[in-house]
Amino acid sequence: MIIRQFLSLRRAGVLGINRRNAEYIMPFNRRSSFPLVDDKLLTKQLALKHGIPTPPLYHVVSHHGDIAGFERALAGRQEFVLKPARGGGGSGIILIVDRKDGKFMTQSGRAISKEEIHYHISDILSGIYSLEGLEDKALIEGLIHPDDVFSKVTYEGVPDVRIIVYRGIPAMAMVRLPTKQSDGKANLHRGAIGVGIDIGKGKTMDGVARSGVITHHPDTGELLRDIEIPYWRKMLLMASESTDMTGLGYLGVDLVIDKNEGPLLLELNARPGLQIQIANQRGLLKRLEMIERAPKDIFLSPEKRVAWSIQNFTGGGF
Amino acid sequence: MGGVVLIGYLLRRAIDRLRLLLVPRLSFLITFVILAFTIFALIGSKFGIREFMAIGLLPFVILSMTIERFFILIEESGALQALRTAAGSAAVATITYKIIQIDPLQLTFFVYPELLFTIMGLLLLLGNYSGYRLSEILRFKVLGEKS
C-alpha cells in the first residue's frame, strides 16, 4: 500500500525532501556559501557587485545603541520596509506605507508608535526572527510597488516569483500571490496561493491553494491562467546569474516586479521548498535529470543556460 | 508541563507591553518556570505525589524558550497553527515516552549497552535514505494521482 504510493510519486518524478537534501543540496551547495544567502545584507552587497538590481537599502541597524538613530537615517521618507537580515519565512517583516502624526502606518492599516518600532528593531537585533537564533541586523529598505501585472489576482501585499535554479539553469518557476488568508504575505504556508509558470512561454498556469488546484483567485475571483509576465527573460537571467554569484548549484531565487524599477532580486534560498512542484502540478526530478544530461557547452554563459531552459521547459510533457 | 507553558504564555502576554529586551524577558520567564516548579514540588511533597517532584528536574531554559516560541507562533501564525504545532510536539513526546517506558526494552539496553552501537549503525543507514517520507504521500497526493 505505502510502497505503491511511493512508486506513484516516483513515477510522477516528485522530488522528496530527503532526496533534495542528500542529492542536491549537500553535494551542490557548499556549507560555506550558505551565509551569502541566509544573510540578506550579504546577498544585497553581492548582487550590487554583480549588477543584479535589488530593492534600495536605506539603512542598517546593527547595535542596540543605534536604534534611536534610525529615524534620522530615514530622512523623512514616508514609506519603508523593516526586516531582519537573517529572517526566514517572511517572519519579522513590517511594511510601512505612510507616517501620520508621529505614527507609522503599516500596510494592513494598523498604526504603530515609534516605541513599538524601536521594540521591534530590538527584537530583530536580539535574533528572535533569525534562522539560528543568533544576533541579527535590522534592514530598512525601500518599499516595493508591485507592477500591475498581478494586481487583479493579488489581495494586498506583494506577489513574488520563485525560480528554482539547478546548475545555473532555471528548472521550475511559480508566482506566489497573497490572499486575505495569508494577510497580504506571499508565503505559501501562511495561505498564499502558488501559481505555476510555463518557463518557455513566460505565462502563468493554474494555481494551488491549501484546498487543492484552483483556477481563480479566492478573494478577487479573477482567472489565474495565461497571465503574461513582463521582463520574463530578464528575470530568468537574473536567476541564472545568481548561481554564478553565489556558487550554489541548487538555488531558490525570489524576485519581485516593481512598477518603476522592473524586476528586483528579493532574496535567495539555499534550501528552497518543494511546494513549487504542486503549484506546477508536476515533479521536479525529471527536469533536474534533463539538466544533468544537457550538452556541456550550454553551461558556458547565463544567456545560453536560459535559452536552453526556455526551449526545453515549456508546454506539457516535462 | 502543558499547564506551565499555558500560564507562562499568559504571563508572556502580560509582560509584552513592558517591551523588555530578549535576555531579561527570558530571564523573567525562567524565574517564573522555576517558581512554578517549586510550587509543584511543594504540592507534590505535601501530598506525597512523586511524579510532581520528578518534573522538577526538567530543563528550565528549554521550557522558557518554548513559552517564548509559542508566543511568537501565536502572534505570527495564529492560535490554530500554534496549537497544531504544540499538539504535534506533545504527540511525538508522548509516543517517545511510551516507547522508552517499555520495561523489556529498558532492561535489554541496561544489560547490553553495546546494543546502542547497533542503533547508531541503523541511524547511519537511515541518514542515507533519500526516498520519500510518509508525510509526503499526503503532501504530494495530487501529483501521485496524476501519474
Looking at residue A20, which CATH number applies to its domain?
Answer: 3.30.470.20
Q: Do residue A150 and residue A130 come from a single domain?
A: no
- A 10 A CB-CB count for A295 gives 8
Domain that holds residue A225: 13-51+146-312
Residue A240 shares a structural domain with residue A285: yes
Query: Could you give the CA distance from residue A102 to residue A230 in angstroms, rounded to a whole number?
Result: 38
For residues A35 and A171, membership in a common domain is answered with: yes
Q: Chain-wide mean pLDDT for chain A? A: 91
- Other beta carbons within 10 angstroms of residue B83's beta carbon come to 13
pLDDT in the model for residue B109: 86
Claim to verify: residue A150 and residue A230 sit in the same structural domain: yes
| B103 vs B44, more confident | B103
Question: Of the candidates A141, A163, A194, which is a domain's last residue?
Answer: A141
Least confident of A31-40, A138-147, A184-193, B103-112: A184-193
- Grid coordinates standing for B32? 517564573
**pLDDT the model gives residue A211:** 74
Residues of B with CB under 8 A from a CB of A: 19, 21-23, 68, 72, 76-77, 128-134, 136-137, 139-140, 142-147
Q: Residue A98 domain-assigned? A: yes
Residue in B closest to A12 by C-alpha: B147
Q: What is the pLDDT of residues A204-225, one digit of tens each?
A: 998 988 778 889 998 888 999 9
Please determine, for the modelled complex, whether the ipTM score is greater than 0.90.
Answer: no
Same-domain status, A179 and A83: no
Any bridge partners for residue A84, and if so which?
A: A138
Partners of B17 in the beta sheet? none
Q: Answer with the one of A141, A158, A186 that is the final residue of a domain.
A: A141
The total of structural domains in chain A comes to: 2
Could B144 and A9 be called an inter-chain contact, meaning their C-beta atoms sit closer than 8 Å?
A: yes
Tell me: do A150 and A135 sit in the same domain: no
Q: Residues A138-173: pLDDT tens digits?
A: 999 999 999 999 999 988 888 999 999 999 999 999
Residues B143, A278: C-beta atoms closer than 8 Å: yes
Residue A317 lies in a domain: no
pLDDT for the residue B129:
81
For chain B, give the percent of residues with pLDDT over 70: 90
Confidence of residue B56 (pLDDT cuts 50, 70, 90): low
A155 shares a domain with A110: no
Same domain, A82 and A209: no
Lowest mean pLDDT among A90-99, A226-235, A303-312: A90-99
Last residue of a domain, one of A108, A141, A174: A141
pTM across the whole model: 0.82
A38 plus A96 within the same structural domain = no
Q: From the CA of B14, how many Å to the nearest CA of chain A?
A: 16
Tally C-beta pairs within 8 A across A and B. Answer: 83
| CB nearest to A5's CB, from B76, B130, B137 | B137
Q: Is A292 helix (H, G, I), strand (E, B) or coil?
A: helix
Whether A174 shows a pLDDT value over 60: the answer reads yes
